Structure 1
């Protein structure tokens, strides 16, 4: 076994989820990630915890969704499993990231609505979502298999305490903020309030790799237009050139250069899908190229991302409304050129470089 797989497993068990004796741990992986599963089970056993190992298959999911199409039930047995779990570990790894590309957007939306209670229960555990490198994801990224393996493990197996300290500088700026303004090129000028909300430092716990700071906008405060100039890969299909217009926090206009109907389906999932649930700022310099995988792309050091749909409860202050939705869909703006982030009127990032970096 590649020693980097063992290191990856150690980071998940000790840093990301802090597995303790007696913990009930769900390990939910595709078969292609079996080596990671083996390494995790060895470590889980060493810590005195109790694993439940499940495989998932995008082919099987596709077959179910195309056969059922609508009128989904909340899977109570799936919900019960997460109610008994202390820790949940998931990894992306399948051979074909486009496997579910021919599932209708309205079917995906219906299933997401039915699955929402299960998702909420999973998010209440100590969970970690990570990536295991496979040929299918390497092809999606336009990389060789070996090159993609190196890319994944360089981004994952790193000094997360050092990354936490670097990102803490941005958390300090955001925690005192009232208003954030994002400007990029001629097509993006968006303002939002974050007053009363908390900014979190993602350094490889729930998402591995980590490498962002994120918060929630005040629900009705988002105003302006944003052009997401980096593609979004969702349900096995690529949305290019997404544009959203906000008034009083709500998406009142949208378009896309490619697969606009998929974007429409996401926004029509429920009422909350037309509001922003997250503003994130990428800060992981080890992620230096776009790979069509949001787990990595949203962490790039010269990007911001915004998610339509649900907000993370821990980011929303007691006096502010929590946006709820069955969706949480991140979209990215490239901030490397002709771009600034302003916090309360002060520029804190220009063309991808932060105010606390030497070359600002």
Structure 2
């Protein structure tokens, strides 16, 4: 475990830069039972920032797995009204949320995929109102991470458990720009300025299409919606509060046209989906839709994702990250999308963020669909960046502009 002062810095960062907790605001903290010390520090930091009240939603992936194993599919599809009411109360209270991510890679490898899918779809339907609220930036939210023994050993299998946990803590804090001798809040303010400068360059071009190629077999054309907005780093809630959804983050991302994606993309990192680790996979798209795919490991989990709903076989996000990035340069495969997506260009199957098109956060679902936005109950990122990634932007008049060369921004 890192020194308490470092964890306090991390907790303060999640409150002030992550969720940007406002005076007299209700705060939810979501945390694994493995990470109670960090959760307590986040609670304390939230109160110090002026929170009205702080509620901790504890979770335990092993308890959740027991439910998958022993409950019937019918029971797993039952979402109690009191739980739905709890999330509605969060919205009514104008709350913000701090998630402490601590995944257990592959935990559900031996669980019936039909049960996982049934429960996930039932929850997505029941909490669609909450997803609309959060993805529409109606509230501030942020995700940070903390280790658990299984995750640490997966990342550092050559180390003893205690050493693996310590090393993963070091990697998380380093990637999150938290060190003993720095001011992480100031460092993040500077980092956001750099990401915003990339956003401006990309927004000024208003590319019609992006063309991705590399030696692994990716040859993908991604059309962007008209009046798209590149975002990255901090974002503004609809009430005007600036916050950082992901700590860490290195991405600049925008909205693909739902029906404008064609070609093949080859993933470069594993995907931890529904507790199953999907490895060595690829997709082929035609007019936006996944028409062919394969994986060497956990193909069934990939099938569950593609068949989740109508929109889960279309893209909702395209994100650019230089191969020469702090997380990628660490040489660590985190088996966690929060980190791995920030080491590599990535795409997301499923719902698009309304903020990525002009006026999107004020649009109805029907208006977003007309704008070219994909709608889905899913939003799952997968990584496809590489050291030889080549990206060409094609403008409305057909002019071609080199965006990436050999994996890095050149624009």
Contact 1:23 1:87 survives alignment (8 Å): yes
Further displaced range: 139-148 or 345-354:
139-148
Residues 52-131 of structure 1 aligned to structure 2 (within 5 Å): 52-66=55-69, 67-70=71-74, 72-74=77-79, 75-83=83-91, 84-93=93-102, 96-116=104-124, 117=128, 118-123=130-135, 124-131=138-145
Contact 1:59 1:100 survives alignment (8 Å): no
List per-residue Cα deviations over 1:207-258 (Å, max 9, x = no partner).
1111111111011100111111321122222211211111111111111122
Further displaced range: 231-240 or 304-313:
231-240
In structure 1, the residue corresponding to 2:260 is in which secondary structure?
A: coil
Change (3 A) 1:104 1:121: farther
Displacement after TM superposition at 1:198 (Å): 1.2
Change (3 A) 1:59 1:134: closer
TM-score (norm 1): 0.91
Q: Distance in 1 between matches of 2:209 and 2:27?
A: 40
Aligned to 2:194: 166
In structure 2, the residue corresponding to 1:200 is in which secondary structure?
A: coil
Q: Distance in 2 between matches of 1:97 and 1:230?
A: 14
Aligned to 1:293: 336
Q: Distance in 1 between matches of 2:97 and 2:167?
A: 29
Q: Distance in 2 between matches of 1:279 and 1:138?
A: 29
Q: Distance in 2 between matches of 1:154 and 1:259?
A: 31
Aligned to 2:238: none
Change (3 A) 1:278 1:80: same
In structure 2, the residue corresponding to 1:220 is in which secondary structure?
A: strand
In structure 1, the residue corresponding to 2:282 is in which secondary structure?
A: strand
Q: Distance in 2 between matches of 1:78 and 1:266?
A: 27
Change (3 A) 1:315 1:164: same
Change (3 A) 1:239 1:223: same
Q: Distance in 2 between matches of 1:213 and 1:26?
A: 27
List per-residue Cα deviations over 1:317-339 (Å, max 9, x = no partner).
456133121211111113213x2
In structure 1, the residue corresponding to 2:292 is in which secondary structure?
A: strand
Aligned to 1:278: 317
1:179 to 203, 209, 224: 209
Structure 1 residue 343 corresponds to structure 2 residue 393? yes
CA RMSD across the alignment: 2.1
TM-score (norm 2): 0.80
Change (3 A) 1:97 1:242: closer
Contact 1:27 1:37 survives alignment (8 Å): yes
Q: Distance in 2 between matches of 1:235 and 1:315?
A: 27
List per-residue Cα deviations over 1:284-342 (Å, max 9, x = no partner).
82213321111000101xx21111111111113456133121211111113213x2011
In structure 2, the residue corresponding to 1:257 is in which secondary structure?
A: strand
Gaps of 5+ in 2: 158-163, 179-183, 235-242, 361-369, 395-399
Aligned to 1:192: 222
Q: Distance in 2 between matches of 1:16 and 1:68?
A: 38
Contact 1:91 1:131 survives alignment (8 Å): yes
In structure 2, the residue corresponding to 1:336 is in which secondary structure?
A: coil
Contact 1:82 1:121 survives alignment (8 Å): no
Displacement after TM superposition at 1:183 (Å): 0.7
Q: Distance in 2 between matches of 1:154 and 1:189?
A: 34
Further displaced range: 253-262 or 130-139:
130-139
Displacement after TM superposition at 1:122 (Å): 4.5
Number of aligned residues:
352
